[in-house]
Structure 1
Amino acid sequence: MPELKLPKLPDRTAIKLSITVTPDLHQMLQDYAALYAESYGREEPIAELIPAMLAAFLESDRAFLRSRRVPVR
């Protein structure tokens, strides 16, 4: 079998989570969604923005990223 440049795609099955947030955080999320719509000319539901926000946060946390590195053998 030939070795493709593109590796096998990871599992992309969505996992549904339910969370409870404080009223202050909910307001901040609404404000962010409004600013997003103003900036990009497209409204997105908060539930669609949260996964992208969490991913961006985790991908920018250097200590977290270092802790996830698998030691090279």
Structure 2
Amino acid sequence: MTKLKLSAIPDDKPVKLTVELPAGVHRDLIDYARVLGNQTDQKLEPSRLIAPMIARFMATDRGFSKARSDLRTPRS
């Protein structure tokens, strides 16, 4: 079995956003939802994957982590 970067999607209260995706990205998102749904026994709407994917991306982006901590560090 292929190990995906996402795991089961938690049921969380969402904040509504409207986004436009390129058609190819949307097709990939549909396929990803099918594969992940099969692995986790969940019926997933592709739109529910966007937030966890962005969160995972930001959590693993070292440049973002450093820049964020620099923002939080008080300057003298």
TM-score scaled by length of structure 2? 0.71
The higher relative CO (CA closer than 8 Å, separation ≥ 6) is in 2
Percent sequence identity over aligned pairs: 28
Q: Does 1:22 align with 2:11?
A: no
- Count of aligned positions: 62
Q: Which runs of 5+ in 2 are unaligned?
A: 1-12
TM-score scaled by length of structure 1? 0.73
Larger Cα Rg: Structure 1 or Structure 2?
A: 1
C-alpha root-mean-square deviation of aligned residues, in Å? Answer: 2.1
- One-letter amino acid of the counterpart of residue 55, structure 1: A
Aligned twin of 1:6: none
